[in-house]
Amino acid sequence: MFAQHLYTRNVPDPDVLIRTSGEMRVSNFLLWQISYTELVVTQTLWPDFRKPQLYEALEEYNRRHRRFGGL
């Protein structure tokens, strides 16, 4: 019910969130929507983030076993 009142109500929740610059925090970014999102942290700074870093992050995500809150 809560999600229906957000601006993102018609947008599916993300499967992966790529965090640049090595920061291990989400900075209150889409807190409700990323509860089951996989976080991939890269040391690359945002201005330097290119296709090779994107592919590397997606490969990292692809290696993970998603449990969606389960054990």
Mean pLDDT of the chain: 93
Q: Phi/psi of residue 52, each to 5°? A: -60, -40
Residue 5 is predicted with a pLDDT of 94
Q: Which helix (H) or strand (E) holds 19?
A: strand 16-19
CA dist., res. 21 & res. 42, Å (int): 6
pLDDT under 50: residue ranges of the chain: none
What is the residue whose two structure tokens read 């790529």?
18
Beta bridge partners of 16: 38
CA dist., res. 69 & res. 8, Å (int): 22
